[in-house]
Each structure stands twice: as C-alpha cells, then as structure tokens.
Amino acid sequence: MTPLRQRMIQDLRLRNLAPNTQEAYLRAVAKLAQHFHKSPELLSTEEVRSYLVYLVEEKHAGTDHYVQVLCALRFLFNVTLGRKEVLEGIPRPKSVKKLPMVLSMEEVAQFFEAIHNPKHRALLMTAYAGGLRVSEAVGLRVADIDSKRMLIRIRQGKGRKDRYVNLSPRLLEVLREYWRIFRPSDWLFPGKTPARPLTRSAVNDLCQRIRARAKIGKRLTPHTLRHSFATHLLEAGTDLRTIQILLGHRSLKTTATYTHVSEKTLRSAPSLLDLLPDLKERQATG
C-alpha cells in the first residue's frame, strides 16, 4: 500500500464516511493513477481535467458515475493533498432526473415464485418487505430479527443511521424456514465464507438470473424491489412521512418521487379530454 493511499484511508475514516463511500473513493483514485501510470500527487491541474473529459467523451460515463468520481477526486486533492486549486472551476453537472423502475405486485409475486433456493427467497423477500438497500439486506445479522416486537433492525444505513422496519408474520415464517435449513449464526445471509456476508454484486447477479427465469421483461435489480416497496405502500394509502422513515430518506422530497410512478396517484387525476362536452353534439347543434 502506498503512503498516499494509507493517508487517504485515514482521512476517510477520520470523517467517518460510510464503508461503501470509502471503497468507491479509493477505487476512483486508483483508476486515476492507473490511467496516467503515476501517483496522483504528481498530476497537474490540466492532467486531472483531461481525465474528467476522457471519462465523459470517451468512456461515456453516466452522470451518477461521473459525479462520484468528481467527489472522490475533490476529497483526494482538497483534503488529503491540500491542493484545492486542482479542481477549482470544474463544475458539477446537472443531475438527470429519472423515474425509478417499478414492478407491479403481480410481477413481484411472479419474481418470488421463480426463486427455488430458501436462502435466496428469504434474502430477496426481506429486501422487498423492508424496502432495504442491497447493502442493508446483506448487512443484516441474525440478532437484527426481533420476533417479539416484530421489527427488523437496520444497522448504520445510508447516512450512518440505524432504523427499524416492520417484520411481517409472513416474512418471519419465511425466515424461520430458511434458518431451520441453513442455521446462520452471525450474518443472516453469509457468503461462501461464513465469517463474511454475501456481496452486493452476488445479489445483483442473483436478481438477473431470477428475472430471466421469471420471464420479467423489465430491468430488475435489488434496488427495483426497494422502489416497488415504496410505490406499493403509497398505493396502499400509506402517507409519505411514514414511507420516508421506513426507507431511511433524509429528505421528504426524495420520497415524493414515488408519487410520480404510482398508478393510483396518476389515475386519481381526471382526464381533461374526457371532461369536455361531446364534440359531435356541439358540431351538430352548431
């Protein structure tokens, strides 16, 4: 490990950034070094700028990925290296507002019916039933399932905050069936090595395999289940503030996105064309 990488790791830890953020920042800086075949300490302002242009124009990086790289490099140069001038004048691009992909309740049932492995069924049903991020689902421990209070404890979700979500009787039954077969002792969903949980990439791959088996044409990731959870709650009449708490959103504005994809919300608006007087009658009388 280079001294620069070690120093950046220390800076990231001192600021208590989330583990996933730390990994993403370190990965982005490593790719910068690989691109130029030298330490980022030796890079000029123009070289760093040319790298960002390369990401946009040649690698066709999406807005989210580009912003993440930009944040990582700002941390490196502003905090670890103390060279704020390197990224001065580099704008943060406007974020592209895209509506989340959502499954219907019938498609969710179709997806679960295509899962044959009890462990995979328990994992993905937990993710949907709790509206969990994939990192939160794989980060669950056996002790986080509180069957007496019928709650699931989410440790250190996004923003480094703990929260609770409901544990439904149906999900508890699925989890108990899974536990009887696999007997997890610490991590609720351990990976190939019991001392470590399943990886996020493994869950993503799992979703793709099940989606194909279920013959669902929509793009489907673990986060699609979270989006579907929020939308289905909204359509069931749950208020936005409650959904915000369950999802662990910092802002109610983020949660309000789901009002744009809820069929119930959209259908509640009248069709103005249907409210117009009958055109044929008006033409006849005119």
Q: Which residues pair with 197 in a beta bridge?
A: 190
CA distance 86 to 78: 8
Active site residue 158: yes
Q: Which of 211, 226, 227, 232 is catalytic?
A: 226
Active site residue 60: no
Q: Which of 258, 267, 280, 282 is catalytic?
A: 258
Active site residue 54: no
In DSSP notation, 167-223 reads: --HHHHHHHHHHHHHH--SSBSSB-SSTTSBPPHHHHHHHHHHHHHHHT--S---HH
Nearest to 73 by CA among 48, 56, 46, 94: 48
Q: Which of 7, 35, 74, 223 is catalytic?
A: 223
CA distance 252 to 52: 32
Question: Dihedral of CA 186/191/197/198: which sign?
Answer: negative
Across the beta sheet with 145-146, the strand order is 145-146, 151-157, 161-166
Q: Which of 249, 250, 253, 260 is catalytic?
A: 249
Q: Which of 153, 158, 164, 200 is catalytic?
A: 158
Q: Which residues pair with 152 in a beta bridge?
A: 145, 165
Active site residue 133: yes
Q: Which of 119, 121, 133, 232 is catalytic?
A: 133
CA distance 86 to 72: 13
Q: Which residues carry out catalysis?
A: 133, 158, 223, 226, 249, 258
